[in-house]
Amino acid sequence: MVLGTTLSALVEWIPRSSTRCLEDVHGDEQPTKSPRVDAYLTAWCHPALAVDKPAPSGCGCLCRNLEGALMPRSDTAAMGQRRAGSVGCNSPRTLRVVTYNLQRGIHYPLLRKHFAQLESLRLADVVAVQEALVPAGGVNTLARLARDLAGGYRWAYRTVMAYPSKEYGNGFLFRSSVTPVAAQTVSLPQVDRLGWVARLKTEGGKPDSKSAFGQVFRVAGRLVRIVNIHLDFSGGVDHRIRQLSYLLRVLEPVSDSSTAVVDVLCGDFNTSGHYRSKQAWHETQQVLDVAKGDGFTECSAGIPWTSDLFSSIDKADPARRMLRLGRLLGLRYRQKLDHLLVRGAPMASPAAAVAATGHAHLPGSDHLPVAVELIL
């Protein structure tokens, strides 16, 4: 009786338009407040899936790397040629950006390993992070990465969701190739109340606060603003459109008398629904069209999916029992939640999702990193 009720709830939780898209699969889960930090802290692509290759042993550089399961051999070779001869530093006229939802840093040893070994993470100038964790009496995930990784990383952070014993937030991990010059935090509109499905998946049972963190960097003589977004999974497509429209309306203008400013929008847009669902695709386009109407180009259109619901389960997730049941049944539910858009600069190649060799998903989070190289 309990099993039947739980299964029924699990099916109801997944959007009706997408239930027919559930697939059989794998499970790669690997186990492993301090004072609230609200202030700005600074202590410092059609390849659809890119598979990162570990860095050669003995390589002391701190750049980031990219691996692609579905990357054509010719593209992989071209990337290798671009990197050869300049290990540890990018061309002065390019910028490598990654967006990565760390799933609250619950698998920190795996995350640290990825940042140290996977080329697309090692070679990135800026990593925009969602769900960095500040645990009770512990250290911010970004501070830990900056401390544990060689190469002089710096970081910036803003609180998004605060609880009595912990908080989560958006932030940036960046290298000396970029210089932070300004920042803006935008609190996004909230839903008035949660439906029962949203309550099932929300810590505390009340609407989450959501915000965007915009950081302006000076890179090779140009100003680049990267806006790190985490939209709401509750409220549906209309609410996400409202959040993104509000954000673009209130972002402060950035100007540079000598050259045009580059704007990047990236992060977890929570555009939910199975990636093969036509309805989910249509609703995702409705959200992205808000940015496209403001002059942005989608860099990540060729990436089929960026999140696998059952691939990694947080012990603090209120829906963990149902997720574990789905995993036990071999379910796989892949969604295109993460996006990267740019205005004012061309791409060297389309964005790529980062996966590990031998894995369809990258262990360590329920999201894949998405990486792009921009020409400044």
The residue with greater pLDDT, 311 or 201, is 311
Domain range enclosing 104: 2-375
Q: Where in 221-306 does DSSP place strands (E)?
A: 222-230, 262-268, 297-298
Closest of 276, 254, 288, 250 to residue 334, by C-alpha: 276
Assess whether pLDDT exceeds 60 at residue 246. Answer: yes
DSSP tag of 252: P
pLDDT-derived band at 197 (thresholds 50, 70, 90) equals: low
Kindly report, residue by residue over 31-85, the tens digit of the pLDDT: 333 333 333 333 333 334 444 444 443 333 323 323 333 322 223 333 333 343 3
Structural domains counted in the chain: 1
CATH number at residue 122: 3.60.10.10
The residue with greater pLDDT, 306 or 12, is 306
**CA 353 – CA 101 distance, rounded (Å):** 12
Provide the pLDDT for residue 52: 46
- What DSSP string runs through 288-334? HHHHHTTT-EES-TT---SEETTS---TT-TTHHHHHHHHHTTEE-E
Kindly report, residue by residue over 330-372, the tens digit of the pLDDT: 777 899 999 999 999 999 999 999 987 777 788 889 999 999 9
**CA 221 – CA 230 distance, rounded (Å):** 29
Task: Find tokens 């386009």 and name the residue.
Answer: 285
The answer to whether the beta carbons of residues 356 and 369 sit under 8 Å apart is no
The answer to whether the beta carbons of residues 32 and 106 sit under 8 Å apart is yes
Q: pTM for this structure?
A: 0.76
Provide the pLDDT for residue 216: 97
Q: What burial class does residue 52 get, using C-beta atoms within 10 Å of its C-beta: 0-12 exposed, 13-18 middle, 19+ buried?
A: buried
Give one word for 103, left, alpha or beta, with left for phi > 0 and alpha for psi -120 to 50: left
